[in-house]
Chains A and B, each alone.
Chain A
Amino acid sequence: KAGVTQTPRYLIKTRGQQVTLSCSPISGHRSVSWYQQTPGQGLQFLFEYFSETQRNKGNFPGRFSGRQFSNSRSEMNVSTLELGDSALYLCASSLGEDNSPLHFGNGTRLTVT
């Protein structure tokens, strides 16, 4: 069974630009969550989608948005990039039930210059 796939693996963007990251969950998984990992703040929850609906949201500004498609694939968008958005963005999928563990992808390393 294929794992969680995130594309691209690396991105370099300039301040003010926008970026879209993609995540393909494990087959059969209906929930996709996004996390930001930085050396200073550690791993922080961005949002979670279940059956194309945002079910939970973290404390990030509105520049961070996401969506989920009918095939459970998810995209995350960051607009008006800031230097502080440089991070490893991790996507995780699960069956979406209360006792389902999250399975993470390799992440997308975003560098904002």
Chain B
Amino acid sequence: AQKVTQAQTEISVVEKEDVTLDCVYETRDTTYYLFWYKQPPSGELVFLIRRNSFDEQNEISGRYSWNFQKSTSSFNFTITASQVVDSAVYFCALRPLFYNQGGKLIFGQGTELSVKP
């Protein structure tokens, strides 16, 4: 079975604090993709990053960074120097590598991040 767990339901920080959103996944597939999406109050899911299972290199994009550890089945997301505009619900998701293996995104329950000024 495939499953994504985001244990943190809600996180509240003060602006400029660093915050890490945890994501743990389960899959029997040996190849897969992992994603992070951001959902602001407008409802649209905004794509942040895709990582495939054979690339464990960490990635940094501005204030955002991602730590992928296959050994612990985790794909954590860190926001450095958080800003009020980062307030949103963040989703971690898993998908088989190939569409003919199912093609659907398995989402975690989401972490609601609130950044206060």
Minimal beta-carbon separation of A89 from chain B (angstroms) = 10
Question: What is the CA–CA distance of A48 and B37 in the complex, to the nearest angstrom?
Answer: 19
CB contact between B104 and one of A33, A50, A104 (< 8 Å): that residue: A33
Q: Could you tell me which A residues sit within 8 Å of B by CB distance?
A: 3, 33, 35, 42-43, 45, 48, 50, 55-56, 58, 88, 90, 92, 96, 98-99, 101-107, 109
Question: What is the CA–CA distance of A55 and B108 in the complex, to the nearest angstrom?
Answer: 23
Question: What is the CA–CA distance of A96 and B100 in the complex, to the nearest angstrom?
Answer: 11
Question: What is the CA–CA distance of A103 and B98 in the complex, to the nearest angstrom?
Answer: 18
Chain B interface residue count, Cβ-Cβ cutoff 8 angstroms: 25
30 contacts across the A-B interface (CB closer than 8 A)? A3-B44, A33-B103, A33-B105, A35-B105, A42-B108, A42-B109, A42-B110, A43-B91, A43-B107, A45-B105, A48-B99, A48-B104, A50-B99, A55-B103, A56-B99, A56-B104, A58-B104, A88-B43, A90-B43, A96-B99, A98-B97, A98-B99, A99-B33, A99-B52, A102-B45, A102-B47, A106-B42, A106-B43, A107-B44, A109-B43
Q: Could you tell me which B residues sit within 8 Å of A by CB distance?
A: 33, 35, 37, 42-47, 50, 52, 91, 93, 97-99, 102-110
CB distance A105 to B44 under 8 Å?
yes
Question: What is the CA–CA distance of A80 and B79 in the complex, to the nearest angstrom?
Answer: 44
Q: Please name all residues of chain A whose beta carbon is closer than 8 Å to the beta carbon of B99 when the two chains form the complex.
A: 48, 50, 55-56, 96, 98
CB distance A92 to B107 under 8 Å?
no
Minimal beta-carbon separation of B27 from chain A (angstroms) = 15
Q: Please name all residues of chain A whose beta carbon is closer than 8 Å to the beta carbon of B50 when the two chains form the complex.
A: 99, 101
